[in-house]
Amino acid sequence: MTLDSPTVTGNRGLVIEEPLIFEQGSPDKCGVDLPEPDDRPDRLGGVARSGPIGLPGLSEPEVVRHYTRLSQKNYAIDAGFYPLGSCTMKHNPRLNERMARLPGFADLHPFQPESTVQGALAAMGHLSDWLLGLTGMEAVALSPGAGAHGELCGMQAIRAALDARGADERRVVLVPDSAHGTNPATAALCGFQVRGIPGNDRGRVDVDAFKAALDDRVAAVMLTNPNTCGLFESDILELSTAVHEAGAYFYLDGANFNAIVGRVRIADLGADAMHINLHKTFSTPHGGGGPGAGPTVLSGALAPFAPLPHIVADGAGYRLVEHVEGDMQPFGRMKGFHGQFGVFVRALSYMMSMGVDGLRQASGDAVLNANYVMARLRETLTPSFEGPCMHEALFDDRFLKGTGVSTLDFAKAMIDEGFHPMTMYFPLVVHGAMLMEPTETESKESVDAFCDAVLALADKAKAGDAAFFTGAPRHTPRRRLDETKAARNPVLRWEPPAPAQAAE
Amino acid sequence: MRYLPLTDDDRRAMLARIGAASVDDLFRDVPPAAWTGPDGFDGLPPHATEMAVERQLSALAARNVAAGSVPSFLGAGAYRHHIPAAVDHLIQRGEFLTAYTPYQPEVSQGTLQYLFEFQTQVALITGMEVANASMYDAATGVAEAAAMACRITRRKHVLLSGGVHPHYRAVTESFLRYTDIETECLAPDPLGVEDLMGRVTAQTACVVVQNPDFYGNLADLSALAAECHAEGALLVVAVAEPVSLGLVTPPGAMGADIVVGEGHAIGSPLNFGGPGVGLFATRKKYVRHMPGRLAGETVDEEGRRGWVLTLSTREQHIRREKATSNICTNSGLIALAWTIHMTLLGEAGFTRLARLNHMKAVEMVEALERVPGLKVVPRHFFNEVMVRLPGQNAAGVVDALAERGVLAGVPLSRFYPTYPELADGLLLCATETTDTADIEALVSALTEVLR
Amino acid sequence: MSTLYFTEDHEWIAVDGDTATVGITDYAQKQLGDVVFVEVPEAGKTLAKGDEAAVIESVKAASEVYAPVSGAVIEGNADLADAPATVNESPMDDGWFFKMTLSDTSELDDLMDQEAYDSFVAGLD
Please report the pLDDT score of residue A2 as a whole number.
Answer: 46
C81 touches chain B (CB under 8 A): no
Distance between A291 CA and the closest CA of chain B, angstroms: 4
How far is it, in rounded angstroms, from Cα A486 to Cα C36?
9
How far is it, in rounded angstroms, from Cα B151 to Cα B205?
9
Please report the pLDDT score of residue A166 as a whole number.
Answer: 96
Interchain contact, B318 vs C60, CB within 8 Å: yes
List CB contacts of B265: < 8 A, sequence separation 6 or more. B78, B79, B80, B81, B241, B242, B243
Interchain contact, B246 vs A440, CB within 8 Å: no
C37 touches chain A (CB under 8 A): yes
Helix axes A341-377, B8-18, angle to 10 degrees: 50
Nearest residue, CB atoms, B171 vs list A47, A109, A334? A334
Instruction: Give the mean pLDDT of A216-229.
Output: 95
How deeply is B288 buried, as exposed, middle or buried, from its count of CB atoms within 10 A (0-12, 13-18, 19+)? middle
**Band of residue A503 on the pLDDT scale cut at 50, 70, 90:** very low
If you ran DSSP here, which 8-state letter would residue A168 be given? T
A500 pLDDT more than 70: no
B301 touches chain A (CB under 8 A): yes
A502 pLDDT more than 70: no
Interchain contact, A105 vs B272, CB within 8 Å: yes
Residue B288: list chain C partners with CB under 8 A: 37
Strands B204-210 and B234-239, bridge-based pairing: parallel
For chain A, domains (ranges, CATH) are: 96-352 (3.40.640.10), 359-475 (3.90.1150.10)
- Upstream peptide bond of B212 is cis (omega within 30 degrees of 0): yes
A22 pLDDT more than 60: yes
**Band of residue A3 on the pLDDT scale cut at 50, 70, 90:** low
Residues of B with CB under 8 A from a CB of C: 288, 312-313, 318-319, 322
Interchain contact, A336 vs B165, CB within 8 Å: yes
Residue B80: list chain A partners with CB under 8 A: 107, 109
Comparing C-alpha atoms, which of B443, B427, B426 is closest to residue B366?
Answer: B443
Q: DSSP readout, A335-360?
A: SSTTS-HHHHHHHHHHHHHHHHHHHH
What ipTM is given for this predicted complex? Answer: 0.97
B191-209 pLDDT per residue, tens? 999 999 999 999 999 999 9
Contact B140, B336 (CB under 8 A): no
Interchain contact, A106 vs B270, CB within 8 Å: yes
**Alpha-helical segments (H) within A166-223:** 182-189, 207-213
**Band of residue A145 on the pLDDT scale cut at 50, 70, 90:** very high
Contact C53, A503 (CB under 8 A): no
- The type of residue at B190 is P
- Map out the domains of chain B as residue ranges: 67-82+346-450, 85-341
Helix (H, G, I), strand (E, B) or coil at B387: strand
Instruction: Residue A198: count other Cβ atoms within 10 Å of its Cβ.
Output: 13
Please report the pLDDT score of residue A504 as a whole number.
Answer: 44
B328 pLDDT more than 70: no
Distance between C59 CA and the closest CA of chain B, angstroms: 7
Helix (H, G, I), strand (E, B) or coil at A44: coil
Nearest residue of C to residue B314, measured between CA atoms: C62
What CA–CA distances, in Å, run from B416 to A13, A307, B67, B193, B420? 60, 17, 24, 18, 8
Q: Which of A51-60, A367-376, B322-331, C94-103 has the lowest mean pLDDT?
A: B322-331
Residue A484: list chain C partners with CB under 8 A: 34, 36, 59
Instruction: Give the mean pLDDT of B298-324.
Output: 82
Please report the pLDDT score of residue B315 as a whole number.
Answer: 67
Helix (H, G, I), strand (E, B) or coil at B412: helix
Residues paired with residue B201 on neighbouring β-strands, in sequence order: none
**Band of residue A1 on the pLDDT scale cut at 50, 70, 90:** very low
Please report the pLDDT score of residue A403 as a whole number.
Answer: 96
A-contacting chains (≥3 CB pairs under 8 Å): B, C
The residue length of chain A stands at 504
C16-38 pLDDT per residue, tens? 988 999 999 999 999 888 999 99
B-contacting chains (≥3 CB pairs under 8 Å): A, C
How far is it, in rounded angstroms, from Cα B1 to Cα B17?
24
- Interface test mutation site (partner A, options C29, C31, C32, C34, max chain A beta carbons within 10 A): C34
**Alpha-helical segments (H) within A430-482:** 444-462, 466-470
**Phi and psi (nearest 5°) for A175?**
-135, 125
* Torsion from C-alpha of A128, A131, A136, A140, nearest 10 degrees: -50
Interchain contact, C85 vs A487, CB within 8 Å: no
C14 touches chain A (CB under 8 A): no
B100 pLDDT more than 90: yes
**Band of residue B329 on the pLDDT scale cut at 50, 70, 90:** low
A357 touches chain C (CB under 8 A): no
B337 touches chain A (CB under 8 A): no
B172-189 pLDDT per residue, tens? 999 999 999 999 999 999
Please report the pLDDT score of residue B318 as a whole number.
Answer: 61
- Interface test mutation site (partner B, options A18, A26, A67, max chain B beta carbons within 10 A): A67
**Alpha-helical segments (H) within A11-88:** 60-71
How far is it, in rounded angstroms, from Cα B27 to Cα A261?
12
Strands B157-160 and B182-185, bridge-based pairing: parallel
B320 pLDDT more than 80: no
Helix (H, G, I), strand (E, B) or coil at B175: helix
**Band of residue B256 on the pLDDT scale cut at 50, 70, 90:** very high
Please report the pLDDT score of residue C2 as a whole number.
Answer: 85
C125 pLDDT more than 80: no
Helix (H, G, I), strand (E, B) or coil at B228: helix
A58-116 pLDDT per residue, tens? 999 999 999 999 999 999 999 999 999 999 999 999 999 999 999 999 999 999 999 99
Question: Secondary structure of chain C: what % helix, strand, coil (to 5)?
Answer: 25, 35, 40
How far is it, in rounded angstroms, from Cα B333 to Cα B264?
11
Distance from the Cα of residue A96 to its chain's centroid? 18
Considering chain A, what is the average pLDDT of its residues?
95
Give me the CATH code for the B85-341 domain, please: 3.40.640.10
B365-418 pLDDT per residue, tens? 999 999 999 999 999 999 999 999 999 999 999 999 999 999 999 999 999 999
User: Out of 3.30.70.360, 3.90.1150.10, 3.40.440.10, 3.40.630.10, which CATH number does the structure's domain B67-82+346-450 have?
Assistant: 3.90.1150.10
List Cβ<8 Å contacts ≥24 apart for B50-56.
B50/A95, B50/A353, B50/B2, B53/A95, B53/A99, B53/A349, B53/A352, B53/A353, B54/A95, B54/A98, B54/A99, B56/A352
Helix axes A341-377, A118-135, angle to 10 degrees: 30
Considering chain B, what is the average pLDDT of its residues?
95
Considering chain C, what is the average pLDDT of its residues?
91
Instruction: Give the mean pLDDT of B273-298.
Output: 95
Interchain contact, C37 vs B319, CB within 8 Å: no
Half-sphere exposure of C82 (CA within 13 A, CB side): 2
**Band of residue A471 on the pLDDT scale cut at 50, 70, 90:** very high
- Interface test mutation site (partner B, options C40, C57, C60, C66, max chain B beta carbons within 10 A): C57
Please report the pLDDT score of residue A84 as a whole number.
Answer: 95
Residues paired with residue A141 on neighbouring β-strands, in sequence order: A296
Instruction: Give the mean pLDDT of A456-477.
Output: 97
How far is it, in rounded angstroms, from Cα B112 to Cα A275?
28
Nearest residue of A to residue B416, measured between CA atoms: A323
A421-438 pLDDT per residue, tens? 999 998 988 999 999 999
Distance between B185 CA and the closest CA of chain A, angstroms: 14
Instruction: Residue B80: count other Cβ atoms within 10 Å of its Cβ.
Output: 22
What CA–CA distances, in Å, run from A485 to A164, B298, B305, C9, C37? 50, 6, 12, 27, 11
Helix (H, G, I), strand (E, B) or coil at B12: helix
How far is it, in rounded angstroms, from Cα A474 to Cα A478?
8
For chain C, domains (ranges, CATH) are: 3-104 (2.40.50.100)
B447 touches chain A (CB under 8 A): no
Instruction: Give the mean pLDDT of B33-46.
Output: 93
